[in-house]
């Protein structure tokens, strides 16, 4: 069994402040270690379930957060960023049996995580897909749907876990944090490790087809920027239209067109 894990940091256990996400800050080291521990536990659960090949995308900021020496030998670790539109699931293809997420967070504009955002550009107010505020989970899970790969597991904040199960109630989720305003309520980090390992193992021992996500027939990408200048400039991207002073839209029946838009417009 061949498994793909995409790992972020803003949804790891206990995280609360942007200083805890940045390499240059003193608070970062502990949470990078917790990110590694959570990915390691997912790998152990996957291996127990029969996975013999595990690909991991270090998908936070620099793409250089995980400690490879603390991960099992049956992994392939993707560090840094190639620039491919698949972004946080770079290298995912039809050969994988399942996609899983560790340390993921709620969408920009939500109230479920003090660190909620969608993609990396701080000059963006929000991203919507087909009229709904869009998370990084949704963007990349539609890539899995595009390829026919099931989405089996996610750990992160409670708000995102609820979104995941609205999309597909069968996907196994582990909520390690709950955001309230600018605060978080978290479970113990060791308990998170145990829950992630158990959840992954249970997810991968079941019928993986029940975790598949249906891809919409057409797509409307809407991006609202913090300034009208950015919206005007980006309205010249092929097929993009400026619909308000700070807002552009891009429509397509091909999801890869939307992914290209996300890459160049955010």
Question: Active-site residue numbers?
Answer: 117
Long-range contacts of 203-207 (CB under 8 A, 24+ apart): 203/49, 203/98, 203/100, 203/152, 203/153, 203/171, 203/172, 204/1, 204/3, 204/45, 204/46, 204/49, 204/50, 204/51, 204/97, 204/98, 204/152, 204/153, 205/49, 205/50
228 known ligand binder: no
20 known ligand binder: no
8 known ligand binder: yes
Exposed e or buried b for every residue in 148-174, given b needs 16+ CB within 10 A?
Answer: ebbbbbbbbbbbbbebbeebbebbbbb
Q: Is 196 exposed, middle or buried (0-12, 13-18, 19+ CB in 10 A)?
A: buried
CA distance 134 to 126: 8
Which of 129, 101, 98 has the alpha carbon at shortest distance from 204? 98
CA distance 240 to 230: 13
Q: Binding-site residues for Zn(2+), please?
A: 8, 10, 60, 105, 136
């Amino acid at each position: 069994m061949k498994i793909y894990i995409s790992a972020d940091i803003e949804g790891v256990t206990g995280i609360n402040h942007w200083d805890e996400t940045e390499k240059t800050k003193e608070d970062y080291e502990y949470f990078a270690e917790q990110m590694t521990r959570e990915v390691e536990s997912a790998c152990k659960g996957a291996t127990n379930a029969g996975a013999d090949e595990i690909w991991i995308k270090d998908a936070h900021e620099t793409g250089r957060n995980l400690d490879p020496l603390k991960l099992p030998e049956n992994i392939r670790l993707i560090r840094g960023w190639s620039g491919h539109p698949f972004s946080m699931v770079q290298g995912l293809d039809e050969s994988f049996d399942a996609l899983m997420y560790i340390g993921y967070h709620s969408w920009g504009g939500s109230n479920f995580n003090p660190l909620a955002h969608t993609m990396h550009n701080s000059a963006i107010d929000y991203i919507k897909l087909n009229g709904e505020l869009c998370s990084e989970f949704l963007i990349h899970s539609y890539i899995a749907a595009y390829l026919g790969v099931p989405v089996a597991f996610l750990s992160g904040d409670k708000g995102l876990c609820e979104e995941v199960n609205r999309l597909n109630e069968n996907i196994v989720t582990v909520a390690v944090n709950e955001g309230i305003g600018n605060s978080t309520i978290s479970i113990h980090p060791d308990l998170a490790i145990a829950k992630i390992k158990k959840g992954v193992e249970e997810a991968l021992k079941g019928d993986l087809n029940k975790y598949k996500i249906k891809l919409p027939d057409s797509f409307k990408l809407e991006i609202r920027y913090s300034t009208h200048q950015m919206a005007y400039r980006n309205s010249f991207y092929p097929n993009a239209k400026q619909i308000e002073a700070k807002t552009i839209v891009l429509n397509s029946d091909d999801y890869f067109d939307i992914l290209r838009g996300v890459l160049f417009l955010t």
